[in-house]
Chain A
Amino acid sequence: MDELLAILNDLYPDVDFATYDARVDGPLIQSMEMVELITAIEEKFDVEFPPSLMGDPEHFHSAAAIWELIQRLEDE
């Protein structure tokens, strides 16, 4: 989780991802940052996002949600 937070804070240094939730605080990730985020996660965790998951804001609204998704991908 700390590694994910490091990636997120690298992209958004001024956002507190311990509490941030897009469903409450409004959308944050813009299109090009999504590319950076996914590339960084794939490198760090050695996972590959199936394109089908990139259409679902449900998996990207908070650090916890992204973390859950990474763990699911790692198990596969």
Chain B
Amino acid sequence: MTGIETAGELLAHAYQMELEAEERYTYLAQQMELHNNADLAKLFRDLARVEGVHAGDILEQMKGMAVPEIALLDYKWSGNESPEALDMGDMHYLMTPRQALLLALKAEQNAFDFFNHLLRATSDNEVKRFAAEFAEEEQEHVELVQNELEKYPESDEPIRDDMDPPVSQG
């Protein structure tokens, strides 16, 4: 049971998911810029762009459809926020692109799971159609991130140490 019963509701969720993902990646890019991790900043900017394009596409699809306005707390995510939003609590300013991509991969996988679960749970044909489409697109995102990951050699290296002491600010 997902609680999403109409195609309009599904589109609202899909759109919100992309918006939050774009916002989250942008936010992370800003954090990395401030902490002078240029590689990650660029990576997150790129991911944000992809999500932004996707959000725009969904907006197009919403035209002419009955899409409900949903209050922030009323979105029917399975977890405590939109599945595609990467958990900021997992961040570190000295992460490598590979480590960040693994987190992004998890987020994209969560998004795929969300639509895939809906696809199997719903009996509404229109919902099924959109769920299938979005699941496929999320699968593409997953593959995109996987392709990126291949650029970096596999490694279980931990996050490296900062050799400078922390700076007192307060």
Do A and B pair up? The answer is no
